[in-house]
Chains A and B, each alone.
Chain A
Amino acid sequence: MLDILKDQFWFSAILTVILAVVILGVVAYCIYFERKISAWMQDRVGPNRVGPLGLFQPLADGGKFLLKEDIIPANVDKPLFVLAPFIAFGVAMIGFAVLPWGGVVDLDGDGVVDVTAQVADPGIGLLYLLGIGSLGIYGVVLGGWANNNKYAFFAAIRSTAQMLSYEIPMGLAIFVVVITVGNLRLEEIVLAQIGEGNVWHVVLHPFAFVILLITLFAETNRTPFDLAEAEQELVGGYHTEYSALKFGMFFLGEYAHMITGSGFITVLFLGGWHLPGVPGLQPGDVSIWAMLFKMIVLGAKIVGFLFLFMWVRWTLPRFRFDQLMRLSWKGLLPISMILAAYATTLVYLGKATNIPWALGGNAAILLIVLIYNGLLRTEITGRQANLPEVTIPAEARS
């Protein structure tokens, strides 16, 4: 049995099955906790009727999705209509493949590292994640296109424009990490945050961390960037015409995407499975128990981010579309370009992991942004600048 596990292929296969089951469960309970947290934040109780504390609510929801009538409206592009939810969900699920869950493992304790606790460990892990993340748009666009509903199509277009716009600052924020580490392998990025003289990248580049966090909200279509499916004021979004299981796939895909995104930012900026100074979480700990411990720590960090996602959702109203675009193109993009240039300079000077240099640069950039913002007189909120002035009678201006 152990000999089979020592083969990376079989280890990965078993890990895939376990991860798929665990992540589907987590996704289901994400929806439960989304409802619970929203309720608590609004001084309500939330779902509490199905089972103790409402804990079986995800099962009831799933049963409902399975048993509902699955309507395929007339005049839809049927193959794409059926395909779109599977793309949305599948793409979100395969992102987990490259997350480094528990470092390297020595299964039989003979001092030789046997396998990597990761489904796949490609040298371009980061590029893979970025590519898969961009594929998420396909589910949205195909869903909006195939159902032959102009409002759903508008929603899909909105969502595409948003995701494309936020991918640029996201890429630049990631570039800061990549140029600092000099490697695209996710395991190496985690290791670069551990050890003598190394710190988590969030300490080195807090600004890039904040930008990546903001763009992640946009990429996962979460509030305040959930214009794709603004429940209250727009029809339904790109999945207006979907019902039953297909709607459920979109719904689960959104949460799976959140988990991938949380794992992503944890690996890049928060040290992945590492906690400084805790025994069992260091690169030298390769026993199977250390692997489990590392998985739990990474999972806990991901859960923390999931809570943050929900917390923000139930705090903030959503942006108007022009504000959303302005934030990306006029706000995040210039800042992330400066950050990328600064990180490159640090690497050139050989001070990539020098905390005072990195932090000082971040503080200077923050100062520049504040001064620029203070001097800037164009309105961020309110009316668009290029609309004609409203004429107001002179006597009313008293």
Chain B
Amino acid sequence: MIRDEDIIIVETPELSAAERLYLPQIIGGMQTTFRHLFKKNITVQYPEQKRELRVENYRGVHRLNRDEQGRVACVACFMCQTACPAHCIHIVGEESPWPDREKYPKQFDIDELRCIYCGMCEEACPVDAIELTPEYNLVSRSRQEMIFDKEKLLEVHDRTVDVKPRKNPRITGYPGTGNRSNEQPPGDDH
């Protein structure tokens, strides 16, 4: 329901005699378009040229990070799956074979077709294991191929880790389990 006091009446401005003739306005518009004829084009010739991306901000294909020992950094806490507004993440957790954490993902699938690339998973992850990469040319021949499993996501990490290093390589595992890969608190650089 729109209240009466919220209505703003905008009167159309009255046209002058010259404006009623249309022609002066038309000539003005044509001057503008004529100037643009000689301006530099802003087109990026895509397959040959590529735009320079802001690597740290770009939200492309996901990856699952590895820790220093090459293991998957994910601790299967389900935070990303819960945060995901598109419900495209599916995790199956299992008891971890490693002493520094309780759980690890036995299965970790992301449906890249369903994903809206909002980056909420990255925000939610407590160990910075899931991250969005600057990769955007994502193609496949079937929908099935577009569901990325754990191996594929780790491959993405291997491909992109040089371009975009992991945000916080030291945090892996729960605090207090005594076996963090590095005992320094996160974010403290030495």
Chain A residues with a Cβ under 8 A of chain B: 37, 39-45, 210, 311-312, 314-316, 327, 369-371, 373-374, 376, 379-382, 392-393, 395-397
A395-B5 Cα distance, complex, nearest whole Å: 7
A15-B170 Cα distance, complex, nearest whole Å: 83
In the complex, the answer to whether B7 meets A393 with C-beta atoms within 8 Å is yes
In the complex, the answer to whether B23 meets A210 with C-beta atoms within 8 Å is yes
| Chain A residue contacts of B34, Cβ below 8 A | 311
**A379's contact among B7, B12, B36, by CB below 8 Å, is which?**
B12
Which partner residue on chain B sits nearest A37 by CB separation?
B37
> Is B57 close to A, CB under 8 A?
no
Shortest C-beta distance, A74 to chain B (Å), equals: 35
Q: Which 4 A-B pairs have the closest CB atoms?
A: A374-B17, A393-B4, A373-B20, A373-B17
| Chain A residue contacts of B7, Cβ below 8 A | 392-393, 396
- Whether A312 contacts B5 in the complex (CB less than 8 A), given A45-B43, A370-B17, comes out as no
> Is B33 close to A, CB under 8 A?
yes
Shortest C-beta distance, A18 to chain B (Å), equals: 32
| Chain A residue contacts of B16, Cβ below 8 A | 374
| Chain A residue contacts of B163, Cβ below 8 A | none
**B33's contact among A315, A373, A382, by CB below 8 Å, is which?**
A315
Shortest C-beta distance, B19 to chain A (Å), equals: 9
In the complex, the answer to whether A41 meets B33 with C-beta atoms within 8 Å is yes
Contact sample, A vs B, 18 pairs, CB 8 Å cutoff: A40-B41, A42-B36, A44-B42, A311-B30, A315-B30, A316-B29, A369-B21, A370-B18, A370-B21, A371-B17, A373-B17, A374-B16, A374-B20, A380-B20, A382-B12, A392-B7, A395-B5, A397-B9
In the complex, the answer to whether A41 meets B36 with C-beta atoms within 8 Å is yes
A43-B41 Cα distance, complex, nearest whole Å: 4
> Is B15 close to A, CB under 8 A?
yes
> Is B39 close to A, CB under 8 A?
yes
In the complex, the answer to whether A43 meets B42 with C-beta atoms within 8 Å is yes
Shortest C-beta distance, B17 to chain A (Å), equals: 3
| Chain A residue contacts of B18, Cβ below 8 A | 370
Which partner residue on chain A sits nearest B29 by CB separation?
A315
In the complex, the answer to whether A43 meets B4 with C-beta atoms within 8 Å is no
Shortest C-beta distance, A273 to chain B (Å), equals: 27
Interface size range of chain B in the complex: 20 to 34
| Chain B residue contacts of A381, Cβ below 8 A | 12, 15
A381-B12 Cα distance, complex, nearest whole Å: 9
In the complex, the answer to whether B32 meets A315 with C-beta atoms within 8 Å is yes
In the complex, the answer to whether B21 meets A43 with C-beta atoms within 8 Å is no
Which partner residue on chain B sits nearest A393 by CB separation?
B4
Shortest C-beta distance, B48 to chain A (Å), equals: 11
In the complex, the answer to whether B20 meets A396 with C-beta atoms within 8 Å is no
A312-B33 Cα distance, complex, nearest whole Å: 9
In the complex, the answer to whether A312 meets B43 with C-beta atoms within 8 Å is no
Shortest C-beta distance, A204 to chain B (Å), equals: 19
A37-B29 Cα distance, complex, nearest whole Å: 15
> Is B143 close to A, CB under 8 A?
no
Shortest C-beta distance, A188 to chain B (Å), equals: 31
A386-B26 Cα distance, complex, nearest whole Å: 28
A37-B33 Cα distance, complex, nearest whole Å: 10
| Chain A residue contacts of B36, Cβ below 8 A | 40-43
Shortest C-beta distance, A80 to chain B (Å), equals: 37
Within 8 A of A (CB), among B120-177: none
| Chain A residue contacts of B21, Cβ below 8 A | 369-370, 373
| Chain B residue contacts of A370, Cβ below 8 A | 17-18, 21
Within 8 A of A (CB), among B1-57: 4-5, 7-9, 12, 15-18, 20-23, 26, 29-30, 32-34, 36-43, 45
Shortest C-beta distance, A378 to chain B (Å), equals: 10
| Chain B residue contacts of A312, Cβ below 8 A | 26, 30
List 7 additional A-B contacts (Cβ < 8 Å) besides A43-B41, A374-B16.
Answer: A44-B43, A45-B43, A45-B45, A314-B33, A374-B17, A381-B15, A396-B5
A395-B21 Cα distance, complex, nearest whole Å: 36
In the complex, the answer to whether B40 meets A43 with C-beta atoms within 8 Å is yes
In the complex, the answer to whether B26 meets A316 with C-beta atoms within 8 Å is yes
Question: Which of A41, A311, A395 is most buried by chain B, counting CB atoms within 10 A of its CB?
Answer: A41
| Chain B residue contacts of A373, Cβ below 8 A | 17, 20-21
Shortest C-beta distance, A26 to chain B (Å), equals: 21
A376-B39 Cα distance, complex, nearest whole Å: 40
Which partner residue on chain B sits nearest A371 by CB separation?
B17
A315-B34 Cα distance, complex, nearest whole Å: 9
In the complex, the answer to whether B29 meets A41 with C-beta atoms within 8 Å is no
In the complex, the answer to whether A45 meets B41 with C-beta atoms within 8 Å is yes
